[in-house]
Amino acid sequence: MGRCGARPRRPRRPSARQGPANRKKAIHTVVSRSRTGQPVHSQREFGLNAWVVDEQHRRFLRDPGSVDLEWRNLFSTAPGAAETARDGTTAMSDETEQAAVKAVRVAALIHAYRVRGHLMADIDPLGDGHQATAPELDIAAFKLGAEDLPRTFVVDDFAGRDTMTLDEVLRALRQAYCGTIGIQYMHIQSSDERCWLQERMEGPLPHTDRAEQLQILYRLGAAEAFERFLHTKYVGQKRYSLEGGESAIVLLDVLLHRCIRNGMREAVIGMAHRGRLNVLANIVGKSYGEIFHEFEDTEDVDSVHGSGDVKYHLGAAGTYRALNGSTISVSVVANPSHLEVVGPVAQGVVRAKQEVIADGDGISGVLPVLVHGDAAFAGQGVVSETLNMSLLPGYHTGGTVHIVINNQLGFTTAPAHGRSSVYATDVARGIEAPVLHVNGDDPEAVVRAARLAFDYRQAFLKDVVIDLVCYRRHGHSEVDDPSITQPAMYDRIDARPSVRALYADALLRRGDVSARQVEGALKDFRGRLDRAFAETHVPPGPSVGRDADAIDEGSASEVDTAITQETARRVMATQTELPPGFTVHPRVLPQLTRRATALDGGAVDWAAAETLAFGSLLLDGIPVRLTGQDSRRGAFGQRHAVLTDRHNGTEHTPLNSLGTQAHFTPYDSSLSELAALGFEYGYSLARPDALVLWEAQFGDFADEAQTVIDEYIASSEQKWGQRCGVTLLLPHGLEGQGPDHSSARIERFLQLCAQENMSVAMPSTPANYFHLLRRQALGAPQRRRPLVVFTPKSMLRLKTATSTPADLTAHGFRAVLPHEPADTGRVRRVLICSGKIFYDLDGYRRAHDATDTAIVRVERLYPFPERELGKELARFPADAEVRWVQEEAENQGPWLFVAPYVRRLAGRAVTCVSRPAASAPAVGSSHRHAEEQRSLVAAAFRRAAV
């Protein structure tokens, strides 16, 4: 009944033995399910059972304190007196009963509007001007009629009033929920959040003063002038115009003003194509001249590194300047055509920036804003993945303001063909985010929605969605004709004035501004156009979207990655020096003990080497962030980066107890690859000082993140001048686990390699893995590139796949591991391989005393170690046969990539020993796999046919 929609406790239903005299005929609520899963209430029957009212009234008469405040308010003010029965008990009079039932129906009406009022909101600028109807919100659905409109009811502080007539209630409800803002928030479980939103929606409409009106008019004019200039000057060129949705600039303007008022340092915007150029010009501050040069394609190709990208993919960083002169740093993240994949990337950037200023309040210092298209928000799964991550410990950024620029149309696809939900934003309800649907042609409503969204984010540190319902004045990319598929819609659009013109007319009619002020704004817009013309042929300044310092010709220089024995022992001591009273799981304790004593026993396994790499980097002051599915424990039960007390479930992270050190943050991710890797890529962009690692549970799972790998990791430096040092750990190896748990698709990564864009390695020893990680972190940030490591599964516990402590303290990373025997003159066969297959080959060589065969390991596949491999091959007789051996199929794995290098270095024919070409990475039978592996290894040693 009250403002927060609190419902009285439901008493036990009266039993049949009480007799018909004491039972009331129930007013049942009939609930069905619509195709969207939302409750649909029958128009005929809606309300609370009358017996509930009767029972609550009886309790009130016995003891007013025994019922909730809402019931006390109702019964204290209800007309009519209580009747005393013959047996001396007090009963409700018919008049009181009728008044109480109707009061409950009014309370139900208020609740219904809170839940469903958005269905009647005037949010479509292309509507016919008539308010939408929702039969379930008609007063008749609550058994209320015209005769009840003047009656007064207890409303318990609804709209700031204790009592209201039904007519006043309806007016207040329609103003709150059926204007040009419609809100969905009753799906939120938290009553605090619902109450907070109700107080603001149901209160009086805030007044927009003249200064605010002029600012809105100015921003609309700037947005419109920019688009119309481009439309006139660059006919037929794609720009993904914001025309029809210019209120988005007003919305961003309000958000950034709010940021400044709250002392925030920065806002990071992730957005797709539509409106990007307008945002860069009018929000980020990118010069018109620079943008126009991009249209005219006059950029000096020698002035930047790489091939660049089309203008509506570019990012930028700048300073937003409010009309009052205050400023805030703002950036737009570069984004390829895979629209919504920028979402997790931007979130990763924000999280990193927030952690950098965590000495204050990072979450309150940087605001993430994601701008979406309606079709993409509903259609692309990465949106749901990113939303799901929003409250997880490793990914929380304090709430994101999502802006959906809702054109009510995809490329040429209408909503009926593009989504199964009522709203494009319905996916956001899954994380209980409030959704504000606002009419884009009412910029003052847009301002209110923006303020409400920002304030909600600040209050609850959760995501909030603004569905900016507008339209697209031109085709998808200004070069197509949308009227071919949407003729009726575009007839309405063509006849509709711009939002700036509509708003100016409204202000003039209301007398809020003068014609002189409007003319002044128009004059300013014309001046902006004139200056834009003049700037068109002015040489642009340095591009804010490129990193000139990132230009680097040549590979990263080698760094000293060895550590001292003292450092190694300090790191290993953390594995067994646990907090007092902490009980380690009995199956984990032996692993930690073996790890701690590895330096004495002389055998360092993969997990110990990784622990030493992380720990030593932390002591060097380099933060380490590791994420992935079950990465804290390790998918194969090997890592145990975070320990859980066996008895009370408390957690302990040993590597954070080193003393003076950087921070180690291992997180288990959601069951996501695409959004999870996108987040880490973004994080690594903003934290070049950290070692950032993403681990796939199995290497094959990286397939799900291929968009991030292709569009960002492999090509971002070439397209945008952006470098990052993100490291991918991809468990790889054919071990009879079937086609989807075997191969990390090495061939795909190698196909993407060129221009030293990343490093790809498949180390075969723990020591080389150790040095590889340290090399990645210790290299100069401006020279760092992504690192892809094909990590082992069975080798994690293979006794022959260990290293000595000296390998960590006296050596560095070796791109080629040479043939061990010193006598190379007798070698007649040289086997070159990479990764796990070495141990099968070496076992066969030893078992068969094949001393005429040498085995050379290539540990880094790209950049290919030509010098090192050439030097090693030169040790063997010129007539020795050279073979490349891999366990992957011939059309997979490294072979097709390495073949030209190996043949050139060998100076002779080189054959490949592998499984036959196949469409799947591996067979499904473990028995058949073992047979294939034995045959493959034997074939590597078989004498070549003469």
Residue 600's CB: how many other CB atoms inside 10 A? 10
Question: pLDDT value at position 646?
Answer: 94
Q: Which residues contact 568 (CB under 8 A, 6 or more apart)?
A: 599, 612, 616, 805, 808, 809
Express each pLDDT in 359-385 by its tens digit: 556 788 999 999 999 999 999 999 999
Confidence of residue 130 (pLDDT cuts 50, 70, 90): confident
3-class secondary-structure state, position 675 = helix
Residue 37 has pLDDT above 60, yes or no: no
Beta bridge partners of 270: 370
Sorting pLDDT into bands at 50, 70 and 90, what band is 8? very low
Instruction: Name the pLDDT band for 559 (thresholds 50, 70, 90).
Output: confident
DSSP string computed for 851-884:
TTEEEEEE-EEES--HHHHHHHHTTS-TT-EEEE
Q: Quick count: other Cβ atoms within 10 Å of Cβ 133? A: 10
pLDDT in tens, 684-713: 999 999 999 999 999 999 999 999 999 999
Give the pLDDT confidence score for residue 274 in this predicted structure.
86
Of 63-67, 602-606, 935-939, the poorest mean pLDDT is in: 63-67
Q: Of 718, 694, 693, whose CA–CA distance to 777 is shortest? A: 693
pLDDT beyond 80 at 39: no
Q: Is the pLDDT of residue 190 over 60?
A: yes
Instruction: Quote the pLDDT of residue 295.
Output: 75
> pLDDT of 465-520, one tens digit each?
999 999 999 887 777 888 899 999 999 999 999 999 999 999 999 888 888 888 77
Least confident of 301-315, 500-514, 599-613, 885-899: 301-315
Which residue's structure tokens are 């796949």? 801
> What confidence score (pLDDT) does residue 363 get?
84
Instruction: Identify the weakest region by mean pLDDT among 65-69, 358-362, 935-939.
Output: 358-362
Q: How confident is residue 546, by pLDDT bands cut at 50, 70 and 90?
A: very low
pLDDT on residue 10: 36
Q: What is the pLDDT of residue 75?
A: 67
Q: Compute the chain's Rg from CA coordinates.
A: 34
Query: What pLDDT does residue 449 have?
Result: 98
Least-confidence region, from 174-183, 409-418, 608-617, 905-914? 409-418
Helix H or strand E encompassing 806: helix 805-809
**Mean local confidence (pLDDT), 784-801:** 94
Query: Residue 146: exposed, middle, or buried by beta-carbon count in 10 A (0-12, 13-18, 19+)?
Result: exposed
pLDDT tens, position by position, 252-261: 999 999 999 9
Give the chain's end-to-end CA distance (angstroms, integer).
Answer: 94
Single out the residue of 636, 610, 624, 756 nearest to residue 693, CA to CA: 624
Of 260, 243, 247, 270, residue with least CA distance to 402: 270
Residue 658 neighbours by CB distance under 10 Å: 18
- Quickly state the pLDDT bin for 537 (edges 50, 70, 90): low
Tell me the average pLDDT of the chain: 86
Q: In what order do the strands lie in the sheet with 853-858?
A: 816-817, 853-858, 829-833, 881-889, 910-915
Tens of pLDDT, residue by residue over 320-356, are 988 788 999 999 998 887 779 999 999 999 999 999 9
| Per-residue pLDDT at 309 | 63
